[in-house]
């Protein structure tokens, strides 16, 4: 059974329908169990909830609001909204300073709900992280970012420094609730996960949780600290003086499992799907503690057994991405926390470049001198104030403008197929490292898309970090067919995302131009590649085509022409020549 | 106010603790850069050290935390106003948020006063608040470049010069700059890195015993902060005394010529750029000697700080993977033993 479950899990993680339903139901029960904990123990920091907007999430939020006052962070909020500040409109109307209270101070020990957390600006995230360090309000992030596309590494747009400080990580993606109750507008029965078992106090809970964290490949020590806090909180809510084995299991499922970067070493991983309940029923009891786990084992748990129990509980919530990448033989990469580059918002940063009319807020800053200059000539037309001071109206307000230099992202799309792939990849890696070494001058970022076999892979997500590039490029596989169309498609997607971030993308394609893998719809290889090249041309994204065919062939120039890219024949590829070609192209865009 | 985690209760991380102590003893070292993963106790250590230091005396109500006796005049003439009164305040610890605007950091025209009463008044920023204390910036590598430039400039000169919005003000801003960051999320420009005095690499403790101890201590601190702090009171006093004694001793610590020469040879051997590295190396060695209660800097003091002071100043060959630390250690082993 175990072996079967393992095989099912590794081969088709998404398709195993009843298992997936059971796992989702277990996650729902866990999410419900998290609510009273977070309400009673503010030192846990909060919850990072991944869930698409919808009824499931709404019901969860309602349940949360029944425990503690909840305030939503308005999407228009800026740093002033959190900390309070001068209310400019009220100040102008009243003629004396009017303060606006900050959300953080107002909330006290309430709960701050952050919808669309993936859009949270870095400054707000940093402010929230600092507030958590000072035991501010509990923060619940509702992350609505879509799950990563196959072949792409999950990239996390929310700053890690904030997520780290939230003890509980939940995922409600794929959870279903009974449709009948939803249709009737009723709240379905809420049966939170209730850990069962021997409730005698454990001798060394810290040791067990720390050992489990190591076994799951969690580097940060904050994770076991949070887990222990949670175990204590749960024991306390149950009226016990110290955590027992079930408390630790709950802590493992809520805190450790979601942070895991690998499966526990040693024996076969424990699957949550050991005992799938009928999928139609509402939240099942407790699918991740197998009913056959012998009671006598729990009676006298020695430390190793207990750690195993904890690991088993954590396995229920290990993110599917980890299993997925493990099954492909890749090491799980820790997502490195969003964009490092500056946003290209000309009212917030960069060199000063004059002023324009407008109200401050949302990052825009008031240009005081200009405001007064605007107001001054109109004083005669306005009723004079009793105290003889300037009358300033809303129309007079001026804000400062800035220009920020456009930062570029160079996306390499490299043909990793065939026998020449090793040299090609090695020289590309060299070029990437050379480009990153000078990245501080241009704030440039580099990404790498490798295509081989039947698919393309984002081998290096856009980064400015040389250290990260070296680490992730170290083990890049090569050989197999040449799916040029897939490579171009992925490179275009990455480039479009980058453009959305306000950066200027440049795609550098390194191939000999001979496709030999048809696309998904069965179009002939070369035709599919040409179609993708034309699609790329319509987006207006700049590209360079580096043709590394040993002898001149027609395919390369044809592809380059289709995507509107300069054709650079480099039969003897070397890193420096690639960098030179990239630099010429970069000069052309900036 | 919440109690801070005791400095001496931090498990492991000796290099980081050593660097912070040195910075507390010798402010001219010019800040500490901590590179490392999250959840390694970086901010805990800095906060703990700030809370550990004995409270300082300021002129009551001064917005720049001026010392009662100081040659530098306060721009607001606080001493004249306050007369002989003094006020005791904890050593300031300012946590610079990542999204901080330049206004907030440098200070700006007091908007409230300007709009309501038309008065031109300077509203001090975070730099003023950090005067004589610590300024901590988590993820400094993600901070906008122009802010990092500005911070380093102020940290080195000890003065914040404001020329904007019709204001022309300079006020003292002497603080110990502590930056932290994860190199995997974007690197700091080398010319900025060079301005930091010391550079520390922190790693998550790999020893399972250490990790368990950390979790246990945090748990004990969570539940009974007072009892936990009492457990470490003696150790904390020892650290306070050590810092106080070292500060007093520092001006008297001598650096023999042989050590000066050794420092130069060491910098040449590892190819560390610039005179700044050499100066920092010697200052750090002196601070170490002072902390150890010695009046003379010995070769082993120099050896113990070589990686801290030089690691981030070496010319990097991008395609060479040999760690800077390893190269320094090799050079130290050759030169100091000889």
pTM: 0.66
In angstroms, the CA A126 to CA A117 distance is 13
B38 touches chain A (CB under 8 A): yes
Minimum Cα–Cα distance from A120: chain B residue? B99
B1 touches chain A (CB under 8 A): no
Task: Assign A313 a pLDDT band (cuts: 50, 70, 90).
Answer: confident
In angstroms, the CA A440 to CA A16 distance is 47
| B 265-324 residues with CB < 8 A to A | 316, 318-319, 321
- CB-based contacts of A298: which residues, under 8 Å, 6+ apart? A197, A198, A245, A309
Environment class of A538 (CB within 10 Å of its CB; exposed 0-12, middle 13-18, buried 19+): exposed
Q: Is the pLDDT of residue A7 over 80?
A: no
Highest mean pLDDT, choosing among A120-124, A329-333, A513-517, B14-18:
B14-18
Minimum Cα–Cα distance from A337: chain B residue? B185
Residue in A226, A208, A99 with CA at minimum distance from that of residue A168: A226
Minimum Cα–Cα distance from A393: chain B residue? B115
Chain B residues with CB under 8 Å of A88 CB are: 115
- CB-based contacts of A140: which residues, under 8 Å, 6+ apart? A38, A46, A47, A49, A64, A70, A111, A112, A113, A114
3-state secondary structure of A279: coil
Check CB contact under 8 Å for A232 and B218.
no
B215 touches chain A (CB under 8 A): yes
Count Cβ neighbours within 10 Å for each residue of A101-116 and write b for 16 or more, e otherwise. Answer: ebbbeebeebbbbbbe
- How many residues appear in chain A? 590
Q: Is the pLDDT of residue A343 over 60?
A: no
Q: Is the pLDDT of residue A279 over 60?
A: no
Contact at 8 Å (CB) between A416 and A478? Answer: yes
| B 97-126 residues with CB < 8 A to A | 97-101, 103, 109, 111-112, 114-118
Distance (Å) from the C-alpha of residue A512 to the closest C-alpha of chain B? 26
Q: Which CATH architecture has domain B251-337?
A: Orthogonal Bundle (1.10)
Q: Is the pLDDT of residue A147 over 60?
A: yes
Proportion of chain A above pLDDT 70, given as a percent:
72
Which residue would you say has higher pLDDT here, B229 or A264?
B229
Q: In CATH terms, are B7-55+90-202 and B251-337 the same topology?
A: no
Check CB contact under 8 Å for A221 and B184.
no
The confidence score (pLDDT) of residue A2 equals 41
Q: Is the pLDDT of residue A166 over 50?
A: yes
Chain B residues with CB under 8 Å of A469 CB are: none
In angstroms, the CA A474 to CA A426 distance is 10
The confidence score (pLDDT) of residue B176 equals 84
Which residue would you say has higher pLDDT here, A517 or B213?
B213
Check CB contact under 8 Å for B212 and A123.
no
- CB-based contacts of A179: which residues, under 8 Å, 6+ apart? none
Which residue would you say has higher pLDDT here, A358 or A528?
A528
Q: Is the pLDDT of residue A17 over 60?
A: no
B223 touches chain A (CB under 8 A): yes
B152-204 pLDDT tens trace: 788 777 888 888 767 788 888 888 888 887 776 666 766 677 778 888 888 88
Proportion of chain B above pLDDT 90, given as a percent:
1
Contact at 8 Å (CB) between A301 and A200? Answer: no
A574: tokens are 């070397």
Check CB contact under 8 Å for A79 and B190.
no
- CB-based contacts of A188: which residues, under 8 Å, 6+ apart? A59, A177, A178, A181, A182, A282
Q: Is the pLDDT of residue B308 over 80?
A: yes
The confidence score (pLDDT) of residue B185 equals 66
A38-63 pLDDT tens trace: 888 778 888 888 888 888 888 888 88
Q: Is the pLDDT of residue A522 over 80?
A: no
DSSP string, A325-384: HHHTTPPPPPP--S--SPP--TTTSSEEEEEEE---BTTB-B-HHHHHHHHGGGGGGSPP
Check CB contact under 8 Å for B97 and A127.
yes
| Element counts in chain A: helices (H) and strands (E) | 23, 15
Report angle CA A222, B44, B220 to the nearest 5 degrees.
Answer: 65
Give B96's Cβ-side CA count (13 Å radius).
35
Among the partner-chain residues B39, B97, B186, the one whose CB lies closest to the CB of A221 is B39
Count Cβ neighbours within 10 Å for each residue of B244-255 and write b for 16 or more, e otherwise. Answer: eebbebbeebeb
Name which of B115, B166, B318, B324 to mutate to probe chain A: the one with the most chain A Cβ atoms within 10 A of its Cβ.
B115
B112-163 pLDDT tens trace: 677 666 677 888 888 888 888 888 887 787 777 778 778 878 877 788 888 8
Check CB contact under 8 Å for B218 and A130.
no
Minimum Cα–Cα distance from B165: chain A residue? A369
The confidence score (pLDDT) of residue A292 equals 39
B290-305 pLDDT tens trace: 988 888 888 888 888 8
The confidence score (pLDDT) of residue A353 equals 61
The confidence score (pLDDT) of residue A441 equals 55
Which CATH code is given to the segment(s) A408-589?
A: 3.40.50.410
Distance (Å) from the C-alpha of residue B297 to the closest C-alpha of chain A? 36
Task: Assign A151 a pLDDT band (cuts: 50, 70, 90).
Answer: very low
In angstroms, the CA A588 to CA A531 distance is 25
What mean pLDDT is reported for chain B? 80
Distance (Å) from the C-alpha of residue A241 to the closest C-alpha of chain B? 12
Environment class of A449 (CB within 10 Å of its CB; exposed 0-12, middle 13-18, buried 19+): buried
What mean pLDDT is reported for chain A? 72
Highest mean pLDDT, choosing among A273-287, A327-341, A355-369, B310-324:
A355-369
B141 touches chain A (CB under 8 A): yes
The confidence score (pLDDT) of residue B4 equals 80
A466-490 pLDDT tens trace: 777 777 777 777 778 888 888 898 9
The confidence score (pLDDT) of residue B134 equals 86
Indicate if the alpha-carbon torsion angle B2, B6, B12, B18 is positive or negative.
positive
B214 touches chain A (CB under 8 A): yes
Among the partner-chain residues B37, B112, B116, the one whose CB lies closest to the CB of A220 is B37
ipTM over 0.90: no
Proportion of chain B above pLDDT 70, given as a percent:
89
The confidence score (pLDDT) of residue A23 equals 76
The confidence score (pLDDT) of residue B38 equals 72
Catalytic one of B104, B231, B247, B276: B276
Q: Is the pLDDT of residue A1 over 60?
A: no
In angstroms, the CA A84 to CA A249 distance is 41
Which CATH code is given to the segment(s) B7-55+90-202?
A: 3.40.50.300
The confidence score (pLDDT) of residue A338 equals 32
In angstroms, the CA A127 to CA A475 distance is 38
Check CB contact under 8 Å for B41 and A464.
no
B208 touches chain A (CB under 8 A): yes
Residue in A145, A156, A139 with CA at minimum distance from that of residue A72: A139
A424-472 pLDDT tens trace: 778 777 887 877 776 555 567 888 888 888 888 888 888 877 777 777 7
Check CB contact under 8 Å for A126 and B118.
no
Of the candidate ranges A474-483, B78-87, B211-220, the one whose mean pLDDT is the lowest: B78-87
- How many residues appear in chain B? 338
A190-202 pLDDT tens trace: 677 777 777 777 7
The confidence score (pLDDT) of residue B317 equals 54
Q: Where are the alpha helices (DSSP H) in chain B?
A: 14-25, 42-52, 78-82, 102-106, 111-116, 126-129, 145-157, 190-193, 208-223, 225-231, 233-249, 257-270, 274-291, 299-310, 324-337
In angstroms, the CA A236 to CA A231 distance is 9
For chain A, the domains span 1-6+192-331, 351-403, 408-589
Q: Is the pLDDT of residue A319 over 80?
A: no
Environment class of A351 (CB within 10 Å of its CB; exposed 0-12, middle 13-18, buried 19+): exposed
Among the partner-chain residues B95, B208, B215, the one whose CB lies closest to the CB of A228 is B215
Check CB contact under 8 Å for B2 and A86.
no
Chain A residues with CB under 8 Å of B111 CB are: 86, 366, 368
A376-412 pLDDT tens trace: 777 777 777 777 677 777 778 877 776 555 677 888 8
Q: Across the A/B interface, how many CB contacts are shorter than 8 Å?
A: 156
B227: tokens are 């009892």
Any catalytic annotation for residue B189? no
Give the residue-averaged pLDDT of A110-139. 80
In angstroms, the CA B312 to CA B198 distance is 8
């Amino acid at each position: 059974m175990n072996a079967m479950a393992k095989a099912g899990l590794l081969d088709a993680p998404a398709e195993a329908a009843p298992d997936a339903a059971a796992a989702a139901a277990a996650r729902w029960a866990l999410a419900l169990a998290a609510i009273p904990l977070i309400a009673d123990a503010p030192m846990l920091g909060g919850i990072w909830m991944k869930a698409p907007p919808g009824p499931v999430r709404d019901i969860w939020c309602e349940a949360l609001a029944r425990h503690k006052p909840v305030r939503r962070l308005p999407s228009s909020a800026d740093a002033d909204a959190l900390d309070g500040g001068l209310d400019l409109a009220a100040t102008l109307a009243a003629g004396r300073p009017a303060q606006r209270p900050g959300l953080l101070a107002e909330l006290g020990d309430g709960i701050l709900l952050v919808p669309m957390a993936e859009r949270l600006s870095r400054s707000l995230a940093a402010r929230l992280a600092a507030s958590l360090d000072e035991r501010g309000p509990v923060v619940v992030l509702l992350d609505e970012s879509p799950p990563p596309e196959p072949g792409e590494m999950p990239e996390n747009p929310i700053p890690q420094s904030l997520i780290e400080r939230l003890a509980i990580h939940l995922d409600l993606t794929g959870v279903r609730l009974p449709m009948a109750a939803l249709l009737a507008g009723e709240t379905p029965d809420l049966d939170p996960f209730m850990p069962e078992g021997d409730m005698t106090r454990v001798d060394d809970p810290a040791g067990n949780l720390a050992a489990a964290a190591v076994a799951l490949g969690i580097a940060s020590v904050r994770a076991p600290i949070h887990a222990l806090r949670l175990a204590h909180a749960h024991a306390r809510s149950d009226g016990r003086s110290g955590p027992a084995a079930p408390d630790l299991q709950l802590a493992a499922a809520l805190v450790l499992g979601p942070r895991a970067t690998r499966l526990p070493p040693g024996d076969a991983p424990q699957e949550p799907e050991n005992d799938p309940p009928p999928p139609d029923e509402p939240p099942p009891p407790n699918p991740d503690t197998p009913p056959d786990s012998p009671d006598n084992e729990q009676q006298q748990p020695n430390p190793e057994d207990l750690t195993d129990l904890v690991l088993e509980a954590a396995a229920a919530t290990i993110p599917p991405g980890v299993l997925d990448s493990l099954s492909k033989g890749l090491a799980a990469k820790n997502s490195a926390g969003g964009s490092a580059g500056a946003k290209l918002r000309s009212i917030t940063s960069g060199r000063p470049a004059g002023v324009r009319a407008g109200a401050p807020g949302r990052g825009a800053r008031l240009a005081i001198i200009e405001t007064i200059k605007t107001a001054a000539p109109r004083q005669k037309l306005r009723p004079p104030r009793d105290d003889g001071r300037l009358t300033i109206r809303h129309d007079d307000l001026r804000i400062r403008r800035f220009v920020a230099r456009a930062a570029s992202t160079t996306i390499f799309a490299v043909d990793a197929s065939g026998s020449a792939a090793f040299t090609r990849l090695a020289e590309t890696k060299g070029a990437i490292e050379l480009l990153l070494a000078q990245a501080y001058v241009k704030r440039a970022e580099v990404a790498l898309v490798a295509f081989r076999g039947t698919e393309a892979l984002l081998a290096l997500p856009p980064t400015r970090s040389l250290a990260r590039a070296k680490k992730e490029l170290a083990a890049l596989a090569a050989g197999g067919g040449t799916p040029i169309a897939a490579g171009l498609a992925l490179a275009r997607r990455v480039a479009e995302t980058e453009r959305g971030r306000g950066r200027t993308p440049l795609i550098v394609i390194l191939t000999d131009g001979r496709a030999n893998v048809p696309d998904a719809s069965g179009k002939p290889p070369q035709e599919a590649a040409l179609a993708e090249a034309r699609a790329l041309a319509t987006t207006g994204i700049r590209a360079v085509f580096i043709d590394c065919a040993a002898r001149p062939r027609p395919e390369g120039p044809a592809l380059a022409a289709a995507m509107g890219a300069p054709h650079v024949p480099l039969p003897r590829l070397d890193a420096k020549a690639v960098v030179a070609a990239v630099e010429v192209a970069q000069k052309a865009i900036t | 106010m919440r109690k801070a985690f005791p400095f001496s209760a931090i498990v492991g991380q000796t290099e980081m603790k050593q660097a912070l102590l040195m910075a507390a003893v010798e402010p001219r070292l010019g800040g500490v850069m901590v590179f490392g993963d999250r959840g390694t106790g970086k901010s805990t250590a800095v906060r703990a050290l700030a809370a550990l230091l004995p409270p300082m005396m300021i002129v009551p109500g001064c917005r720049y935390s001026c010392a009662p006796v100081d040659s530098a005049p306060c721009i607001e003439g606080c001493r004249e106003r306050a007369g002989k009164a003094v006020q005791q305040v904890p050593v300031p610890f300012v946590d610079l948020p990542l999204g901080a605007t330049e206004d907030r950091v440098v200070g700006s025209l007091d908007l409230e006063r300007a709009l309501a009463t038309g008065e031109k008044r300077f509203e001090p920023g975070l730099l003023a608040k950090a005067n004589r204390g610590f300024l901590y910036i988590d993820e400094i590598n993600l901070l906008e470049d122009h802010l990092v430039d500005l911070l380093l400039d102020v940290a080195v000169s000890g003065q914040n010069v404001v020329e904007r919005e019709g204001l022309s003000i300079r006020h003292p801003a002497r603080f110990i700059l502590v930056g932290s960051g994860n190199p995997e999320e974007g690197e700091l420009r080398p010319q900025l890195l060079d301005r930091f005095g010391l550079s520390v690499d922190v790693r998550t403790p790999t020893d399972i015993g250490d990790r368990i101890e950390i979790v246990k201590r945090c748990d004990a601190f969570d539940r009974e902060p007072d009892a936990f702090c009492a457990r470490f009171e003696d150790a904390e006093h020892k650290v306070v005394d050590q810092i106080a004694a070292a500060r007093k001793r520092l001006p008297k610590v001598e650096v023999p010529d042989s050590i000066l020469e050794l420092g130069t040879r060491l910098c040449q051997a590892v190819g560390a750029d610039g005179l700044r590295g050499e100066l920092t190396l010697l200052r750090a060695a002196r601070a170490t000697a002072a902390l150890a209660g010695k009046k003379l800097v010995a070769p082993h003091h120099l050896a113990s700080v070589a990686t801290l002071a030089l690691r981030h100043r070496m010319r990097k060959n991008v395609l060479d993977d040999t760690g800077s630390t390893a190269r320094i250690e090799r050079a130290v082993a050759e030169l100091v033993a000889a």
